Amino acid sequence: MQPNETLEIARLALEGKPSDVRLYIAKLVRKARRTDPDYASKLEALLKSETSRSNGVLRKGRHPEQEIPEKLELALLRRYHGAPVAAPLLDSAVSDQLQQILMERRHASQLALKGLSPASALIFQGPPGVGKTMTAGWLAQQLDLPLYVLDLTAVMSSLLGKTGSNLRSVLDYAKSHPCVLFLDEIDAIAKKRSDDSDVGELKRLVNVLLQEIENWPDQGLLVAATNHPELVDPALWRRFDLDVTFSLPNDENIKKAVIEFLGDDRVEFTNYLDLLADSLRGESYSNIKRAIYKLRKMKLINPEGFENFGIQQLIPNIDTLSRQERITLAVKLVSQHAFPKQRAAKLLGVSRDTIRKKLGENE
């Protein structure tokens, strides 16, 4: 370490700036990796140790034995207990990434022999309703770890000047024991530092996250999620071990989701499975679930009403369909779902003769 580097660390420590001290040390670690890997590893180990994170010199007025205040923990962190989480419906690429995470955990000791460690910080990106939160819960269940969700809105609402320290306190608490910490909508506080619309207080939060994520303990797992990856600070993005991209369900997974959400009522909807899958193409899992539950309740409470009006909710917006698509759908309703020709013709704006002709061609 150069004399000027030592002086800089001493200055930041004596000024009571723990986050800046740790950021500076992390910078030295990255620099040393190129010239002295052994020294870099030792320095990085100090950063990850409990001692360095709770040292009284760096934390004014805070003793090592003082954990996060109970009222702050309750305000900012939610711990989830509940029924077992079913395996989320995901495409094969995402499933493979999740299995890789679990395999690394199961073979952590073998990895350690080679100086490697399992992934400890992940970021989930994708549109709303595609299973990011559910997957975090499922991972916690598979790892047999408690799941904490950090209320970023509460962090943002902290007293001005306290947000950074409150965030660090909560992150330190999550680091103090093995757990899965889920940071939903991380873009709310981790925007690009070049974004002039954010005040300095929010930009300091990015610095806190940069340090904490890079040194997340191997025994735990930090999972961040965003619907707007373009807003997240690139420097923060690079700190994550794995980027998992969630997409809207494909046709195969839509049908699986429909069947799963129908539950015990699947038999009642057997003739409508293909129509349901067609009508829900392009929707998220949460929207599919909402639509299916609505139809199940309608059919249970008012069977006659379902026959008259419920089926109309399964038909895509007719205005967006071409004439040929309307004809194809009308024929499907009649041939596969016992729809009267007159009703199918009226719903889709095609003539009964056209439907009759197409049915004759298909026979």
Question: How many CA atoms are closer than 13 Å to the CA of 182, on its beta-carbon side?
Answer: 22
- In sign, the C-alpha dihedral spanning 1, 216, 123, 198 is negative
Beta-carbon neighbour count of residue 35 at 10 Å? 8
Return the percent helix, strand and coil in the chain, to nearest 5: 60, 10, 30
Domain boundary among 245, 266, 286: 245
Q: Quick one: 188 and 333 in the same domain? A: no
Question: Can you read off the two tokens belonging to residue 321?
Answer: 């369909």
Angstrom distance (rounded) from CA 222 to CA 181: 5
Q: Quick one: 21 and 121 in the same domain? A: no
Torsion of CA 116, 117, 119, 121, to 10 degrees: -110
Q: Quick one: 122 and 241 in the same domain? A: yes
Q: Quick one: 113 and 152 in the same domain? A: yes
Which residue, chain included where needed, has tokens 């952590």? 108
Helix (H, G, I), strand (E, B) or coil at 225: strand
Question: How many separate domains does the chain show?
Answer: 3
pLDDT in tens, 48-92: 664 334 443 334 333 333 344 455 554 677 887 656 778 888 989
pLDDT in tens, 282-326: 999 999 999 999 999 988 998 877 766 766 777 767 778 889 988
Structural domain that includes position 146:
67-245
Domain boundary among 221, 245, 269: 245
pTM score over 0.85: no
Amino acid type, 296: R
